[in-house]
Amino acid sequence: MASTKNRTEMMNVKKYLIVVVAILFFPFCSNAQPLKSDNKILIVYLSRTNNTKAIAQLIHKKVGGDLVALELETPYPANYGATVQQVVRENESGYLPPLKTKIDSIQSYGIVFVGFPTWGMKLPPPMKSFLKQYDLRGKTVVPFNTNDGYGIGSSFDTVKELCADCNVLEGFTIRGGADTDGIARLTKDENLKEAERKVNDWLKKIQLVKQKS
């Protein structure tokens, strides 16, 4: 009887240890998605001063895929102040500016990176146009952002709202230049190297890195 009791206790201990390991391990992996050769990637970005473009290119360098810049049928004014006023009106009215950019076979992509600057502490209207125009249901959506030092605002939350039926991974944000001075801060060598290191760390964290063949 004692031997049977001991074996039962040992089996219970083993089951307990298995449960503990599962609890500790899986939370860190729940949102991770290692890249596979059949998981087609799209990187869509909006960039006014080329800072977001620089980050999009770094991501493309690391994960491959198709790189697409969002362009409008009617571009924003060259004057910064006029653009700010127009964006404020668009946000207040809910207006979605028509896109010149057309993406064929959106259904063929499994992972969609969406990159944008912070405008008025919000997601820029052109990116809202993209997320509402294309059906991304069931896809993995990965936001990335550049800003002038004030952070992401509500932009990432809006991406999650517009992509409610998607797997939205942890986003990336970095300070770019200030739109007011039009400086492409992230195109300078020293800043670009720092940005590349941070992008690599982020992609490793969310496990969106190429598997070695």
29 in a structural domain: no
Instruction: Count the domains in the chain.
Output: 1
Of 213, 209, 164, the C-alpha closest to 65 is 209
Structure confidence by residue, pLDDT tens digits, 1-34: 445 445 545 555 444 433 333 333 333 333 444 5
Indicate whether 30 belongs to any domain.
no
Residue 53, C-beta contacts closer than 8 angstroms, at least 6 positions apart? 45, 47, 69
Whether residue 18 is contained in a domain is answered as: no
Q: What does the pLDDT look like over 53-96, one tens digit per residue? A: 999 999 999 999 999 999 999 999 999 899 999 999 999 999 99
For the chain, the maximum distance between any two Cα atoms, rounded to a whole number of angstroms, is: 87
- pLDDT tens-digit series, residues 141-178: 999 999 988 899 999 999 999 999 999 999 999 988 66
Using CA atoms, how far apart are residues 72 and 101, in angstroms rounded to an integer?
7
Confidence check: pLDDT of 180 > 60:
no
Predicted local confidence at residue 181, as pLDDT = 55
Residue 213 falls inside a structural domain: no
In a domain, 21, yes or no: no
55 part of a folded domain: yes
CA pair distance 115, 176, nearest whole angstrom: 13
Q: What is the pLDDT of residues 110-136, one digit of tens each?
A: 999 999 999 999 999 999 999 999 999
- The verdict on residue 4 lying in a domain is no
Domain extent at residue 63: 36-205
**Residue at 9 is within a domain:** no
Residue 168 sits in a domain whose CATH number is 3.40.50.360
- DSSP H helical ranges for 72-188: 80-93, 125-133, 155-162
Q: What number of helices (H) and strands (E) belong to the chain? A: 6, 6
